[in-house]
């Protein structure tokens, strides 16, 4: 078995009536969402609709005000949950790759393993090299982040997350900061992960990716889920006016509506 094989988890993600406010402003207004193990869910919606906030609540970078989130067999919203243990099962990839600039690619992929999981260095390096091979960067282990293109750095960020052998991967607009010519490489890695059965929640404006790779598309606006379902339905035949307006803006950027 490959050392970075997906941790098998039978629980997926269940979000029930989730509310989150910043001060008096409620930005998540009762979110219900289910992600089956092995499913890829793409989260789409206009700026400010609460997509990042929802992802951040899932791995408890933000604390929800009410409602429940079950993730990878843990109740993330339980105040007594062991966050360190829970977060080992949840990998996160951000728009800005957030690599450690003073560490080599290999070190970026071993540091959390050795510090958090207490994996012996040789084993951590083996796992990291497998993860780097998976993202097509086996030969880049000794480079430093500033010696890589944006797309390569993002693939290292994915390898770094995979090195923790998570059962769920969260992606927050992973290709938005990339030059167009490197977007395809990153999406290709994500597609491969999906094909291998990784459970994924992906915030993205890449509608072709959502259409082809997602099992389910969730459209959020104003802190609520407006519409969710099969990508062919939500993207190809949206039922709600808000979804239609959003998609026409994303699919025909520059158009005046």
Per DSSP, the residues of 55-82 read HHHHTTSS--SEEEEEETTEETT-TTS-
Query: Rounded to the nearest whole angstrom, what is the least distance from the CB of residue 94 to ligand ATP in the complex?
Result: 11
Tally of CB atoms within 10 A around 249: 14
Q: Tell me: does residue 53 bind Mg ion (CB under 5 A).
A: no
Q: Tell me: does residue 175 bind Mg ion (CB under 5 A).
A: no
DSSP state of 176: T
User: Which of 55/193 has CB closer to ligand ATP?
Assistant: 55
Cα separation, 106 vs 110, in Å, equals 6
Of 213, 256, 207, nearest to 236 (Cα)? 207
Q: Tell me: does residue 49 bind Mg ion (CB under 5 A).
A: no
User: Which of 50/166 has CB closer to ligand ATP?
Assistant: 50
Residue 154: phi, psi to the nearest 5?
-70, -35
| 22 binds, options Mg ion, ligand ATP, none, Cβ within 5 to 8 A by partner type | ligand ATP
Per DSSP, the residues of 170-192 read EEESTTTTS-HHHHHHHHHHHHH
Cα separation, 73 vs 77, in Å, equals 12
User: Which of 124/225 has CB closer to ligand ATP?
Assistant: 225
Cα separation, 35 vs 213, in Å, equals 14
Q: In what helix (H) or strand (E) does residue 107 lie, and over which residues does it extend? A: helix 105-112
| 47 binds, options ligand ATP, Mg ion, none, Cβ within 5 to 8 A by partner type | ligand ATP
Contacts with ligand ATP, residue ranges (CB under 6 A): 22, 27, 45, 47-53
| 134 binds, options Mg ion, ligand ATP, none, Cβ within 5 to 8 A by partner type | none
Query: Rounded to the nearest whole angstrom, what is the least distance from the CB of residue 111 to ligand ATP in the complex?
Result: 27
∠ CA 202-205-210, nearest 5°, is 55
Query: Rounded to the nearest whole angstrom, what is the least distance from the CB of residue 29 to ligand ATP in the complex?
Result: 11
Cα separation, 81 vs 65, in Å, equals 16
Query: Rounded to the nearest whole angstrom, what is the least distance from the CB of residue 203 to Mg ion in the complex?
Result: 6
On the 0-12 / 13-18 / 19+ scale of CB atoms within 10 A, 199 is: buried
Q: Tell me: does residue 52 bind Mg ion (CB under 5 A).
A: yes
Query: Rounded to the nearest whole angstrom, what is the least distance from the CB of residue 208 to ligand ATP in the complex?
Result: 18
Q: Which stretch binds Mg ion (CB under 5 A): 49-57, 149-157, 161-169, 181-189?
A: 49-57
**Position of minimal CB gap to Mg ion:** 52
Query: Rounded to the nearest whole angstrom, what is the least distance from the CB of residue 151 to ligand ATP in the complex?
Result: 20
User: Which of 232/251 has CB closer to ligand ATP?
Assistant: 251
Which residues are at the interface with Mg ion (CB under 5 A)?
Answer: 52
């Amino acid at each position: 078995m490959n050392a970075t094989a997906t941790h098998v988890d039978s629980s997926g993600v269940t979000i029930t009536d989730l509310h989150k406010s910043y001060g008096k402003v409620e930005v998540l207004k009762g979110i219900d969402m289910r992600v089956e193990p092995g499913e890829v869910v793409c989260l789409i919606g206009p700026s400010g609709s609460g997509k990042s906030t929802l992802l951040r609540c899932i791995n408890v970078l933000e604390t929800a005000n009410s409602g429940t989130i079950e993730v990878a067999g843990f109740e993330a919203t339980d105040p007594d949950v062991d966050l360190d243990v829970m977060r080992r099962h949840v990998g996160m990839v951000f728009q800005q790759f957030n690599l450690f600039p003073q560490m080599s690619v290999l070190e970026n992929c071993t540091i959390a393993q050795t510090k958090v999981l207490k994996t012996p260095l040789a084993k951590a390096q083996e796992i990291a090299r497998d993860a780097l091979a998976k993202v097509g960067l086996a030969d880049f282990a000794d480079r430093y982040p500033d010696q890589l293109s944006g797309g390569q750095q993002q693939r290292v960020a994915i390898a770094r997350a995979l090195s923790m052998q998570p059962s769920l991967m969260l992606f927050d607009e992973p290709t938005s900061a990339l030059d167009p010519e490197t977007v395809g490489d990153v999406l290709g890695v994500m597609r491969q992960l999906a094909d291998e059965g990784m459970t994924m929640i992906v915030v993205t404006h890449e509608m072709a990716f959502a259409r082809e790779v997602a099992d389910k598309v969730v459209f959020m606006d104003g802190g609520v889920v407006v519409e969710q379902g099969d990508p062919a339905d939500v993207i190809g035949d949206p039922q709600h006016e808000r979804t239609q307006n959003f998609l026409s803006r994303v699919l025909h950027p520059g158009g005046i509506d």
